[in-house]
Amino acid sequence: MASATAPTTFSLLKSASSASSSSSARASLLRLPTSRGAVRLGFSAADPLFSVHVASRIGAIKGKATRGVVSMAKKSVGDLSGSDLKGKKVFVRADLNVPLDDNQNITDDTRIRAAIPTIKHLIQNGAKVILSSHLGRPKGVTPKFSLAPLVPRLSELLGINVVKADDCIGPEVEKLVASLPEGGVLLLENVRAHASTEGVTKFLKPSVAGFLLQKELDYLVGAVSTPKRPFAAIVGGSKVSSKIGVIESLLEKCDILLLGGGMIFTFYKAQDKFAPDANSKIVPASAIPDGWMGLDIGPDSIKTFNEALETTKTVIWNGPMGVFEFDKFAIGTEAVAKKLADLSSKGVTTIIGGGDSVAAVEKVGVAEVMSHISTGGGASLELLEGKELPGVIALDEAITFPPKPRYISPQKAQKQPILSSKKNSGIKRRHFGTLSYHSPARQLHKYSLSLSLSLSLSISKPQPDRTFSTTPISY
């Protein structure tokens, strides 16, 4: 049984009161075989929420594609011109599924605020916006799940009076749509019971991503598939069943994996609780604390996390470290939020996903500092797993790839210009491939081939200042 590098503490709850305990922890080690090599998991025996620190670097296997990397180059609303939008009816499928209290007051408007940039862009370009969303999980028409409580907040954020329909289909809705002025917004009633987001795209063209979805794809697919390293992932929460796929996918990509929250008990159970070579002793049943639960990571676990994250360049966090709804057990979760805020201010890419994690950074007041706050919920987890989302796949492609690879011979390459996106254009560029050629000196020169979102191209003269020892490649 190997000694841990630092003592680990934890928070406990007994009945309605709480207490904290600390002791020198000893950790057992488990080697977990994976397709990417063995991963060492350090379990702290003294911490019921033993925050697992995967300290070993996960090596890549030659020739094997990384899980979770999918092609998500989709057109966005920013690709549409003013003439594409002015006077046009634009159907916007948003996620305005916000929590409401017993008095139908919004308790967290994060998802509403996240949708505002896209709606404002459409308004400013003279579109007639037809806004739809789901709310809760009603079975049929249920007044409790009406979108009416959202209208005042939407109107306030948009600076206009948002019109609310009493249904999402039918003659009355058609009349409201027909009377909608340019720059107006009509909010349809809850569409939870109706067709999926995928089916709508078959009848409406063009079908493009909003700014929020585009950002989700940029970070959850782009930044995670080709991260700045070291790349760390923090996974917490209580339901391990919904995150096993994510953990497996992240194991193939990240350098450091930190696990916390209630899910860690599952890992403890999978370890059969005791290592075969662990020290043991017999104690009376009365020596086992009765009725106590671990509800947060302790200060030494926090210290371990902070040290592990210190040199990272990309961090993704999904799930709290404890029952953060109670102040006594929010210390671990808030400590992680503050650490990520500090890293983000130093240029580290920080991606926050999951309702509880988002709520935690909002509570601490550091949400604006993070690189990206994901509002995708379960869909975000599916993206991290590398699954293809039907609603995303159905959108128009941003780039049409050539049907066959195009090879450039060394002779042609001496005369052929390299395509690159406009410099200093102020338009976000999207890297999607490389182009290489041999110079007369037999040096291989490799260049990034990019397209701006407006698809505007310029020609740049090759600058043979980088050499590679590989063979010519195509894009």
378 assigned to active site:
yes
Alpha-carbon 468 to chain mean position: 34
Supply the Cα-derived Rg of the chain in whole angstroms: 26
The burial of 1, by beta-carbon neighbours within 10 Å (0-12 exposed, 13-18 middle, 19 or more buried), is given as middle
Q: Both tokens of residue 444?
A: 């291989």
Q: Which residue type sits at 116?
A: I
Q: Is the peptide bond before 206 cis (omega within 30 degrees of 0)?
A: yes
262 is catalytic: no
Among residues 75, 111, 243, 253, which one is catalytic?
111
Query: CA 77, 80, 86: angle at the middle one, nearest 5?
Result: 105
Q: Classify 19 as helix, strand or coil.
A: strand
Q: Is 111 a residue of the active site?
A: yes
Token readout for 465 is: 């200042």
String of b and e for 120-155 (b: at least 16 CB within 10 Å)? bbbbebbbbbbbbbbbeeeeeeeeebbbebbbebbb
Q: Using CA atoms of 206, 208, 210, 213 in order, give the dihedral in degrees to the nearest 10.
A: 160
Catalytic residue among 57, 239, 273, 412: 239
Among candidate residues 170, 378, 412, 428, the one labeled active-site is: 378
Is 239 an annotated catalytic residue?
yes
Length of the chain: 475
Query: Per DSSP, which regions of 209-249 are E strands?
Result: 231-235
* Bridge partners for 15 per DSSP: none
Q: CB neighbours of 443 closer than 8 A, spacing ≥ 6? A: 464, 467
**Which of 210, 322, 332, 355 is an active site residue?**
355
Q: If we measure between CA atoms, which residue out of 321, 328, 294 comes closest to residue 306?
A: 321
Residues annotated as part of the active site = 111, 239, 355, 378
